[in-house]
Amino acid sequence: MFDKLEIFDKRFEELSKRLYEPDVAADPNQFRNVNKELSGITPIVEKYREYKATKQAIEDALSLLEDSSADDELKELAQLELTENKEKIGTIEEELKILLLPKDPNDERNVIVEIRGGTGGEESSLFASDLFRMYAMYAEKKGFSVEILNANETELGGYKEISFMVNGDGAYSRFKFESGTHRVQRVPQTESGGRIHTSAATVAVLPEADDVEIDINPADLQIDTFRSSGAGGQHINKTSSAIRVTHIPSGMVVECQDERSQYKNKDKALKVLKSRLLKVEQDKQHQEIAQDRKSQVGSGDRSEKIRTYNFPQSRLTDHRIGLTLYKLDDILNGNLDEVIDALITAQRAEQLKESMGN
């Protein structure tokens, strides 16, 4: 571990100098790449230097305690410092182990979230709307921006499906655990008898693809235009601005009708298509590399039931880590950090366990 930390320390010094070299400063791409790498290793280097300073303080205190010429008062202070730093260095070592865990290369990307009503008819569409509201409020609290890409609204204000982009550094790292089936238990607005129903919505989370990563041959695309449809509104069904993009080799179909401009809808649809294709490629790589390893919290498969929202008991249960919280209203108002932090902690624990076993 410490050999690796020394390498990071040296690299930090190299990058810090490179940042001020004229050729780097004059090239926005080089400057951005150097700055990005530097930012990525800074927390590790700062923690390692704190470790070295603490270790040096322990050695200095031991040396002072062994010095026969030192007076009793000085030795007493040295003993206090020794005790304090011995406790501290263990904590720093654990923090370093976590910082050295492999990082998800997608973590800093923007993210595309797709929510679809599942079993439960109109009630599942209303629940999909609740999930969108929860994620939009959470994104706002984290300082991210939300851009709707496509929405298929129902008469009662639910969504048969909605896709949106969350823009901001680290957006994927906060949303990536949301992929899967979300189940709701409550008395639906459409139920007159007061009976509790169970319905579900599915969520897919895609890291936004860079143009350089996914190259789509225009000949592989079939692009159709059609009139926007939805629950109503003055701009519905006036012009054929909605876009349907079919990627012929994969059979993937993406629709976008949120914008009045055909060009903007096409641009958004292609963003979603590229991100879906990137996700397929990354999933293939993960399966080849990991095979039977279980180093993630859940598979991210939308068929996997990951969470239950029980309204009568104000209870949220995340089935992957056995987390139960009785503050459903608070969570649905966008206060998701407690849930997401617990999922991140669980994944890190799995990674640490796995790294120790290797």
Residue 299: give its domain's CATH number: 3.30.70.1660
Min mean pLDDT across 166-170, 184-188, 262-266 is at 262-266
At 111, the amino acid letter reads V
Note whether 89 and 196 are same-domain residues. no
pLDDT confidence tier of residue 192, bands split at 50, 70 and 90:
low
pLDDT at 291: 44
Question: Which range in 57-61, 96-100, 133-137, 215-219 is most confidently predicted, on average pLDDT?
Answer: 133-137
Percentage, residues of the chain above pLDDT 90: 37
Query: Tokens in use for 127?
Result: 């629940």
Neighbours of 122 (CB within 10 A): 17
45 plus 141 within the same structural domain:
no
Percent of all residues in the chain with a pLDDT value above 70, rounded to a whole number: 85
Q: Are residues 192 and 305 in the same domain?
A: yes
**Sequential DSSP letters for 78-98:** HHHHHHHHHHHHHHHHHHHHH
Return mean pLDDT, the chain. 83
Q: What is the mean pLDDT of residues 5-22?
A: 90
Query: Which of 134-148, 185-199, 200-214 shows the highest mean pLDDT?
Result: 134-148
The reported pLDDT for the residue numbered 226 is 73
Residues 238 and 291 in one domain: yes
Q: Which residue in 229, 223, 283 sits closest to 254, CA to CA? A: 223
Q: Are 206 and 275 in contact (CB under 8 A)?
A: yes
- Using the 3D structure, point to which of 47, 79, 99 is the last residue of a domain: 99
In a domain, 106, yes or no: no
Same domain? For 90 and 152 the reply is: no
Residue 123 falls inside a structural domain = yes
Q: Nearest Cα to 269, choosing from 225, 320, 307?
A: 225
Does residue 28 fall inside a structural domain? yes
**Shared domain check, 311 and 169:** yes
Same domain, 82 and 185: no
pLDDT at 235: 41
More confident residue, 75 or 203: 203
Domain boundary among 47, 66, 99: 99
Whether 257 contacts 227, CB under 8 Å: no
> Is residue 201 domain-shared with residue 309, that is, in the same domain?
yes
In this structure, the dihedral spanned by the alpha carbons of residues 230, 234, 237 and 242, taken in order and rounded to 10 degrees, is: -70
Domain-located, residue 105: no
Residue 357 lies in a domain: no
Domain count, the chain: 2
Lowest mean pLDDT among 162-166, 205-209, 299-303: 299-303
Given 31, 65, 99, which residue is the final one in a domain? Answer: 99
Q: What is the mean pLDDT of residues 67-87?
A: 87
| Pairing, β 180-186 against β 159-167 | unpaired
* DSSP output for 17-47: HHTTSHHHHT-HHHHHHHHHHHHHHHHHHHH
Residues 95, 124 within the same domain? no
173 and 277 co-located in one domain: yes
- Check: CB of residue 199 under 8 Å from CB of residue 176: no
What are φ and ψ of residue 232, in 5° steps? 135, 180
Question: Would 84 be classed as within a structural domain?
Answer: yes
CA-atom Rg of the chain in angstroms: 26
For residue 176, give its domain range: 111-349
Tokens of 162: 């909605």
Same domain flag for 327 and 211: yes
Give the count of beta carbons closer than 10 Å to the beta carbon of residue 354: 14
- CATH code of the domain containing 73: 1.20.58
pLDDT at residue 260 in the model: 66
- Is residue 126 domain-resident? yes
Are residues 68 and 188 both part of a single domain? no
Q: Residue 165: inside a domain, yes or no?
A: yes
Look at the alpha carbons of 33, 341, 95, 352 in this order and tell me if their dihedral is positive or negative: negative
